[in-house]
Amino acid sequence: MIFKKRTHTCGELRLTDINSQITLNGWVSKKRDLGGLLFIDIRDRYGLTQIKIAPENTEAYTKAIKLGQEFVISVSGKVIKRESINKNIPTGEIEIEVSEIEVLNESEVPPFVIEEDVKASDELRLKYRYLDIRRKNISDNLILRSKVSHIVHRYFEKNNFVEIETPVLMKSTPEGARDYLVPSRVHKGKFYALPQSPQIYKQILMVSGMDRYVQICKCFRDEDLRADRQPEFTQIDLEMSFVTQDDVFEILEGMFGEIWKEVKGIELPVKFRRMTYDEAMKNYGSDKPDLRIRGDMKIENLSEIVKNSEFKVFQDALSVKAGVVAGIKLSGKEVTRKIIDSLTDFIKKLGFGGLGYLKYNSDGTVQSPMTKFLTEEILTGIKELFKAENGDTVFILSGENLKVLQSLGSLRLKFAEDFKLTDETIYEFLWVTDFPLFHYDEEEKRFFAEHHVFTMPKDEYIKFLDSRDKDEVESIRANCYDLVLNGHEITSGSIRIHKPDIQKKVFDMIGLTDEEAKMKFGFILEAFRYGAPPHGGAAVGYDRVIAILAGLKSITDTIAFPKTLRATSLMDECPSEVSGIQLEELGIEISKPAVKQ
């Protein structure tokens, strides 16, 4: 098909282009028919330009009058100054006096109007994603994503990293998340797995001497989804040899520094704040604290102050070994009966009997259902600890340590949201370090690796690898770290075990026999026997980073073709059934679901 190709995009013409003869290609966005004069906004991904068609130009006018929304057109004409300026768009000072118009393609009436402030539901937008992407709000995210990708590639090349592609069809390793499986036709009854991350390959590449590896890669996890979790997502995956934790931090700080500088024009600190996991849990009840919250709202431990209290709820909590009484202060907000009730509801859903509170009224009195159980000394102690002033409210929970801290952490976030205490204009990066290596699972009565089985314990804890005492084992801290941004985990990594004896002890701890270890991880263990260098790395949750840069709550709109929470694609309707022949070739039979009565 021959057509007049564009000389400019729909976003670039300005006053300086006046009198130029130009051609634009794009979509009909809006038509304003004044009976005689006809104005049309023509759109492409660069912007919007108004074209003017006068009835005197009979041929162009007859064509133009019949144009519908989303028709694809080529218009040629002269750039002229507008009689009345539109300040809302960059091309608002000019318009095109059309001499010639060509319809390149017609369009059916779209199922929703393509405009920035779209009214359509997510469901409809996903079904017609190609129309959704015509909206600037979405296309800008994809363009941003591409820009960051270029920055990342450039940065790592400059830092002497090698970009290596690792297999998408790999061996299923049952540790961690559920794998997506791909049946093998050649080996009936056997399956490949799609990578949850290229973890094992990148460590083997370190054994190969590749030294500094990076890859922006797709990862897959067959788990239930959330707003910030898609079944397939993207990581910036990296691994380095002969490094310590600080070297990995430095490389990533540099990377985020460049991204923020180029995308946001913001200079990030050269080094990010750091906090240990234990500090984060103790102060914020979370391993990914949001540090943007005004007043910080740290959790305070009240166990010492109330230990002699006769209040039964506190006594019960403190009588068990891991029991604690702790609280959090909400400053200067009017806490009504209604708010207390809704907070109590919130806390009850987390498994508590109730929520204690001390409300310091403006007249100096203290309002609380607990005052009658607490002595003057205790009340003073609490008030002093929190530096509570009139108008503040202190909320108190008691029970098992971790649960109390996490729940106060949730409460902290809820306060931040309900009372708008978060400074949305800043970016708070934070390294959380020294994660526990293991946790004990009460149901399965065994230890599990907190991060993954190749994580190196910190030197001073290696002695506990032979212990089986729950407290001792759970006290082991690892060379394992997360990077947290505004309360979101955006990077996770560790220094890996490169010594076979330590690796064996870790396998022993999680109850993996030599034989099982060999079956699951044999190839990597074998590789490690041939001179594995000390190494470590991390993986950056790319979709989340883009979402934060774009100011989005969900990662969905950072992805061109995302899936729903039930892991389907509404546009192409996958997953879908396959033919009997396809199944037969794979040696697969579908078991019939039990008929419901």
Partner RNA sequence: GGAGUCGUAGUUCAGUUGGUUAGAACGCCUGACUGUCACUCAGGAGGUCGCGAGUUCGAGUCUCGUCGAUUCCGCCA
Which residues form the interface with RNA (CB under 7 A)? 30, 32-37, 39, 41, 50, 52, 54-56, 68-69, 82-86, 88, 92, 95, 109, 111-113, 119-124, 126, 176-178, 196-197, 221, 223-224, 226-227, 229, 287, 435, 450-452, 480, 489, 492, 539, 541, 554, 556, 564-566, 568, 570
Rounded to the nearest whole angstrom, what is the least distance from the CB of residue 412 to RNA in the complex? 14
- Phi and psi at residue 277, in whole multiples of 5°? -55, -45
- Phi and psi at residue 53, in whole multiples of 5°? -125, 120
Q: How far is CA 140 from the centre of its chain?
A: 18
Whether residue 529 contacts residue 489, with contact meaning beta carbons closer than 8 Å, is answered with no
Rounded to the nearest whole angstrom, what is the least distance from the CB of residue 134 to RNA in the complex? 15
User: Please, which residue, 287 or 392, has the CB nearer to RNA?
Assistant: 287
Whether residue 99 contacts residue 77, with contact meaning beta carbons closer than 8 Å, is answered with yes
Q: Give the list of residues 6+ apart from residue 379 with CB closer than 8 angstroms, or none.
A: 358, 366, 371
User: Please, which residue, 140 or 450, has the CB nearer to RNA?
Assistant: 450
The rounded radius of gyration (Å) of the Cα atoms in the chain is: 30
Q: Could you write out the DSSP letters of every residue in 338-398?
A: HHHHHHHHHHHHTT-S--EEEEE-TTS-EE-TTGGGS-HHHHHHHHHHHT--TT-EEEEEE
Q: Looking at this protein, which amino acid is placed at residue 110?
A: P
Rounded to the nearest whole angstrom, what is the least distance from the CB of residue 26 to RNA in the complex? 16
Rounded to the nearest whole angstrom, what is the least distance from the CB of residue 49 to RNA in the complex? 10
User: Please, which residue, 28 or 370, has the CB nearer to RNA?
Assistant: 28
Q: Could you write out the DSSP letters of every residue in 90-157?
A: TTTTEEEEEEEEEEEE--PPPSS---SS--S-HHHHHHTHHHHTTSHHHHHHHHHHHHHHHHHHHHHH
Q: Is 583 exposed, middle or buried (0-12, 13-18, 19+ CB in 10 A)?
A: middle
Under DSSP, the state recorded for 465 is G
Among candidates 48, 234, 44, 212, which has minimal Cα distance to 139? 44
**3-state DSSP assignment of residue 255:** helix
User: Please, which residue, 30 or 45, has the CB nearer to RNA?
Assistant: 30
Residue 514 tokens read as: 């030599």
User: Please, which residue, 426 or 565, has the CB nearer to RNA?
Assistant: 565
Whether residue 70 contacts residue 28, with contact meaning beta carbons closer than 8 Å, is answered with yes
Rounded to the nearest whole angstrom, what is the least distance from the CB of residue 435 to RNA in the complex? 6
- Phi and psi at residue 219, in whole multiples of 5°? -130, 155
User: Please, which residue, 184 or 568, has the CB nearer to RNA?
Assistant: 568
Rounded to the nearest whole angstrom, what is the least distance from the CB of residue 444 to RNA in the complex? 10
User: Please, which residue, 61 or 192, has the CB nearer to RNA?
Assistant: 61
User: Please, which residue, 83 or 469, has the CB nearer to RNA?
Assistant: 83
User: Please, which residue, 124 or 268, has the CB nearer to RNA?
Assistant: 124
Q: Give the list of residues 6+ apart from residue 79 with CB closer than 8 angstroms, or none.
A: 13, 17, 18, 19, 20, 22, 94, 95, 96, 97
Task: Please tell me the distance from the alpha carbon of residue 483 to that of residue 489, in angstroms, as a whole number.
Answer: 6
User: Please, which residue, 159 or 568, has the CB nearer to RNA?
Assistant: 568
User: Please, which residue, 302 or 476, has the CB nearer to RNA?
Assistant: 476
User: Please, which residue, 89 or 385, has the CB nearer to RNA?
Assistant: 89
User: Please, which residue, 202 or 329, has the CB nearer to RNA?
Assistant: 202
Rounded to the nearest whole angstrom, what is the least distance from the CB of residue 227 to RNA in the complex? 3
Rounded to the nearest whole angstrom, what is the least distance from the CB of residue 504 to RNA in the complex? 21
Q: How far is CA 268 from the centre of its chain?
A: 20
Residue 350 tokens read as: 């987390």
Rounded to the nearest whole angstrom, what is the least distance from the CB of residue 381 to RNA in the complex? 32
Prior bond to 269 cis, omega within 30?
Answer: no
Rounded to the nearest whole angstrom, what is the least distance from the CB of residue 83 to RNA in the complex? 4
Rounded to the nearest whole angstrom, what is the least distance from the CB of residue 130 to RNA in the complex? 16
Rounded to the nearest whole angstrom, what is the least distance from the CB of residue 485 to RNA in the complex? 15
3-state class percentages of the chain: helix first, strand second, coil last, to nearest 5:
35, 25, 40
Rounded to the nearest whole angstrom, what is the least distance from the CB of residue 565 to RNA in the complex? 3
Whether residue 48 contacts residue 13, with contact meaning beta carbons closer than 8 Å, is answered with no
Enumerate the β-bridge partners of residue 103.
Answer: 73
User: Please, which residue, 68 or 332, has the CB nearer to RNA?
Assistant: 68
Rounded to the nearest whole angstrom, what is the least distance from the CB of residue 402 to RNA in the complex? 11
